[in-house]
């Protein structure tokens, strides 16, 4: 069964992508170094990156529809696999911060408080009054780095937001079924609901951050607790933002009738 091959034509998109990342990178660092052109360069780079991505996805979607590439199982599987591996890379990225949290709680703080190895001198020599209490409100050296006044209450916004995300998993599954059953109204309705839940999550997270900064003294720089809290929730929030944007694009394409019950990926 010989298959004809679609030969991808030459493309200028990656070049734009490189230029965009280049400007973003240089601009961001210049910004940190208080050079006046920094922010402008960074924002230009970021905008260019968004435009490039928009154009790239548009090109791929047109190409797939024009040549019915999604009927080709090879291409279909390649897209699925690559998404899977991309998610794996994200898992590894997040595991850095989870690993950090683990290492801090299981090794560093017990070391500093003299718990392991038994009778270690580190504790007596460095900070003899340091106690290992998590959440870490009092850092080993509070003069140098002050801890937060209080920790984030788990049963407030965080618990509710967890519920929001879990629910959004349910709604998007219903939307998915809607496509399979050719009930486009159901699909559109639940897709919209999912997007709204995503936005709700982000709104609440902003509230949570505001409370942390203004009332709890819980900042990114507030010792190990603040560091890991903001690093993990921050990158997570960033992913929710991107995910919500993708869901919006999918909604738009649903309305244009791009999706049919056949197993699809693009």
Partner 1 sequence: MSHEHPSPNGILGHIQRWVFTTNHKDIGTLYLIFGFSMFFIAGFMSLMIRAQLVQPGMQLLDPATYNVVITMHGLTMIFGALMPILAGFANWQIPLAIGAPDMAFPRLNNWSFWLLPFAFTIAMSTLFVEGGGPNAGWTLYAPLSTNYGPPSMDYLIVSIHMLGISSILAAINIIATLLNCRTPGMSLMKMPIFAWSWMVTAFLLIAVMPVLAGTVTMMLTDRHFGTSFFNVAGGGDPLLFQHLFWFFGHPEVYILILPAFGIISEIVPTFSRKPLFGRTSMIYAIICIAVLSFVVWAHHMFTAGMLLSTMIFFMYTTMLVSVPTGIKVFNWVATMYKGALTFETPMLFAIGFISMFTLGGLTGLMLAIAPADFQYQDTYFVVGHFHYALVAGTLLSMFAGIYYWVPKWTGYYYSERLGKLHFWLSLISVNITFMPMHFLGLAGMPRRIPDYGLQFADFNAWCTLGAFMFGFAQLIFAYNMIQTMRGKGQKASGQVWEAAQGLEWSVESPAPYHTFTTPPQIKSET
Minimum separation from the CB atom of position 66 to partner 1 (A): 10
Q: Count other C-beta atoms under 10 Å from residue 74's C-beta.
A: 9
**Residue with Cβ nearer partner 1 (18 or 166):** 18
For the CA atoms of the chain, what is the radius of gyration? Answer: 24
Based on CB atoms, which residue is closest to partner 1, 119 or 261? 119
Least Cβ distance, residue 226 to partner 1 (angstroms): 8
> Nearer to partner 1 by C-beta: 127 or 251?
127
| Of 103 and 160, CB closest to partner 1 | 103
Q: Which residue number, 15 or 166, has a Cβ lying nearer to partner 1?
A: 15
Q: How far is the CB of 115 from partner 1 (least distance, A)?
A: 12
**Distance of closest approach, residue 205 Cβ to partner 1, in angstroms:** 18
CB of 249 to partner 1, least distance (A): 19
């Amino acid at each position: 069964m010989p298959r004809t091959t679609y030969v991808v034509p030459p493309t200028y998109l990656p070049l734009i992508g490189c230029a965009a990342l280049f400007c973003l990178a240089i601009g961001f660092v210049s910004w940190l170094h208080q050079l006046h052109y920094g922010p402008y360069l960074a924002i230009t780079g970021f905008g260019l990156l968004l435009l490039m991505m928009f154009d790239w996805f548009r090109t791929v979607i047109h190409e797939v529809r024009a040549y019915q590439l999604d009927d080709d199982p090879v291409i279909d599987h390649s897209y699925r696999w690559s998404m899977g591996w991309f998610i794996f890379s994200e898992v590894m990225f997040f595991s850095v911060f989870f690993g950090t949290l683990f290492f801090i709680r299981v090794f560093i703080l017990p070391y500093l408080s003299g718990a392991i190895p038994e009778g270690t001198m580190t504790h007596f020599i460095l900070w003899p009054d340091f106690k290992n209490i998590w959440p870490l409100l009092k850092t080993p050296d509070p003069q140098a780095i002050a801890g937060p006044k209080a920790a984030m209450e788990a049963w407030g916004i965080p618990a509710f937001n967890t519920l929001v995300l879990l629910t959004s998993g349910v709604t998007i599954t219903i939307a998915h079924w809607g496509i399979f059953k050719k009930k486009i109204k159901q699909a559109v309705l639940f897709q919209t609901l999912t997007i709204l839940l995503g936005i709700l999550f982000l709104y609440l997270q902003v509230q949570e951050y505001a409370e942390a900064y203004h009332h709890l003294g819980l900042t990114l720089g507030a010792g190990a607790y603040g560091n890991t809290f903001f690093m993990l929730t921050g990158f997570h929030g960033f992913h929710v933002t991107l995910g919500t944007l993708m869901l919006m694009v999918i909604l738009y394409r649903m309305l244009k009738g791009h999706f049919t019950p056949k197993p699809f990926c693009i």
